[in-house]
């Protein structure tokens, strides 16, 4: 077998690209694979989509058994394609309903399996066996429109007419009508407030409808955080238990060494008191230590010796600057002062005291 370096690189590159493309295609169609992504696809016709989206869950009795794989408009109705697990029984009388999962706009497809015979995958479930929900946002919008169209004055007049008509009725009916009249008067007096309230509710529902994707994402992110906390539950529990045990051990240690700790704390208090009393001296010492450290570094930083100068350690030779010495030939031209004896100063051969090296 020839090594790779001796083979044609173009052929190797083509094979590698083909392998990568195959892997990407398999990853994108993982749910459609016979073994990994098995399942049976069914079709159902709905009068409207009701906000259902591709990828949302298919449930039976609240248990997820599949997902929606596609939506397609066919004439005056919508055909919904969904895939369920192979072990799920879908009878020929099965009912399908689009239900609201959350108030933020998420849905799921609810199956109610019925019938003994199997539903043929190629035959769509008719509209007569499908149900769509009434959306919350359109419901509130319709309520706002309906309430806005109510003539409150006419409604109050109608209640007054009913009250006059049943004027000679028994006391129980009169009390009921008086209550209805008070309700109509209250509604009429609060007409502007109710209209404003409904308008604002309509605006709020509109904003929620526009931001439903963001809200759903927020809820999903919160769910991920809770899942992460749940996954780390054991770690957090162990941390709390270890912290509690550490606190218990510290308490026991303090109790066992209380006699030794008390004098130590007392001495520590005295030491801190002394340091506080001499704080100015300590500050001055620290400042002078900086100067000392700098000079010490200058004296020892040139090598393995001290580089220093000491002034007036020994007397200067008396002959330096003596006018009686001839600077040209080094002979003495003056006379000696004093007598010979103990008062005369010793001289070297050239008349000068030896200099220190």
Give residue 9's region: left, alpha or beta (phi > 0; psi -120 to 50).
Answer: alpha
Residue 193: what pLDDT?
A: 78
Domain annotation covers residue 348: no
Same domain, yes or no: 48 and 125: yes
Q: Which residues pair with 83 in a beta bridge?
A: 41, 67
> Is the same domain home to 123 and 162?
no
Cα 114 to Cα 86: distance, rounded to the nearest angstrom = 16
Q: Is residue 326 part of a domain?
A: no
DSSP symbol at 6: G
Residues 204 and 218 in one domain: no
* Token representation of residue 2: 């020839």
Residues 61, 109, single domain; the answer is yes
Same-domain status, 46 and 99: yes
Side-chain-facing half-sphere of 8: CA atoms under 13 Å: 4
C-alpha closest to that of 96 among 58, 52, 136: 58
Which pLDDT does position 357 carry in this prediction? 42
Residues 109 and 50 in one domain: yes
For residues 159 and 201, membership in a common domain is answered with yes
Contact 60, 113 (CB under 8 A): yes
φ, ψ at 85 (rounded to 5°): -65, 155
Residue that terminates a domain, selected from 108, 133, 158: 133
Which pLDDT score is estimated for 38? 65
Co-location of 123 and 173 in the same domain: no
In a domain, 164, yes or no: yes
| The pLDDT of residue 166 | 66
Q: State whether 75 and 113 are in the same domain.
A: yes
41 close to 82: Cβ distance less than 8 angstroms:
yes
Same domain, 46 and 117: yes
Say if 144 falls within a structural domain.
Answer: yes
pTM: 0.36
Residue 240 C-alpha from the chain's centroid: 22
3-class DSSP assignment, residue 305: coil
Total domains in the fold of the chain: 3
Residue 293 lies in a domain: no
Give the C-alpha distances (Å, rounded to integers) separating 183 from 75, 157, 165.
48, 12, 18
Structure confidence by residue, pLDDT tens digits, 143-158: 666 766 677 777 777 7
Residue 117 inside a domain? The answer is yes
> Tens digit of pLDDT for each residue in 253-306?
888 888 888 888 888 888 888 988 888 888 888 888 888 888 788 777 777 777
Instruction: Write down the pLDDT at residue 126.
Output: 92
Among 110, 133, 156, where does a domain finish? 133
Asked if the structure places residue 305 within a domain, the reply is no
Give the pLDDT of residue 262.
81
pLDDT in tens, the chain (357 residues): 566 566 666 666 677 777 787 777 666 665 555 545 568 899 999 988 888 889 899 999 989 999 999 999 988 899 999 999 888 889 999 999 999 888 677 889 999 999 888 888 888 999 999 988 865 556 666 666 676 667 777 777 777 776 677 666 667 776 776 787 788 777 777 777 777 888 888 788 878 778 888 888 888 888 888 888 878 888 888 888 889 888 888 888 888 888 888 888 888 888 888 988 888 888 888 888 888 888 788 777 777 777 776 777 666 555 455 555 444 444 444 444 444 444 444 444 444 444 444
Tell me the residue range of the domain where 164 lies: 139-210
58 plus 127 within the same structural domain: yes
Q: What is the 3-state secondary structure (H, E, C) of 191-231?
A: HHHHHHHHHHHHHHHHHHHHCHHHHHHHHHHHHHHHHHHHH
**Domain endpoint, select from 133, 165, 185:** 133
173 & 186 share domain: yes
| Distance of alpha carbon 172 from alpha carbon 189, whole angstroms | 26
């Amino acid at each position: 077998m020839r090594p790779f370096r001796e083979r044609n690189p173009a052929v190797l590159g083509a094979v590698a690209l083909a392998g990568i493309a195959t892997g990407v295609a398999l990853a994108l169609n993982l749910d459609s694979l016979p073994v990994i992504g098995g399942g049976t696809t069914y079709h159902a016709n709905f009068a409207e989509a009701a906000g259902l989206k591709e990828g949302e869950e298919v449930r039976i009795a609240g248990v997820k058994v599949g997902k929606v794989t596609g939506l397609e408009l066919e004439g005056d109705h919508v055909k919904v394609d969904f895939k369920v697990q192979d072990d799920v029984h879908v009878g020929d009388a099965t009912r399908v309903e689009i239900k609201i999962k959350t108030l933020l706009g998420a849905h799921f497809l609810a199956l109610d399996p019925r019938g003994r015979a199997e539903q043929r995958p190629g035959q769509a479930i008719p509209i007569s066996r499908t149900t769509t929900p009434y959306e919350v946002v359109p419901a509130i919008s319709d309520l706002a429109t309906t309430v806005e169209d109510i003539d409150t004055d006419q409604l109050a007049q109608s209640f007054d007419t009913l009250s006059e008509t049943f004027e000679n009725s028994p006391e129980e009916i009169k009390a009921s009508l008086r209550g209805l009249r008070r309700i109509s008067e209250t509604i009429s007096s609060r007409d502007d407030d109710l209209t404003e309230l409904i308008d604002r509710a309509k605006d709020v529902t509109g904003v929620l409808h526009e931001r439903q994707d963001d809200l759903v994402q927020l809820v999903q992110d919160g769910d991920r955080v809770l899942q992460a906390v749940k996954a780390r539950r054991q770690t957090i529990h162990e941390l709390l238990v270890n912290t509690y045990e550490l606190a218990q051990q510290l308490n026991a240690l303090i109790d066992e060494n209380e006699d030794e700790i008390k004098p130590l704390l007392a001495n520590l208090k005295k030491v801190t008191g002394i340091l506080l009393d001499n704080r100015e001296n300590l500050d001055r010492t620290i400042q002078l230590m900086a100067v000392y450290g700098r000079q010490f570094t200058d004296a020892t930083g040139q090598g393995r010796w001290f580089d220093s100068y000491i002034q007036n350690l020994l007397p200067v030779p008396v002959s330096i600057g003596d006018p009686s010495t001839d600077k040209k030939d080094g002979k003495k031209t003056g006379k000696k002062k004093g007598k010979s004896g103990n008062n005369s100063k010793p001289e070297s051969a050239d008349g000068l005291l030896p200099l220190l090296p």
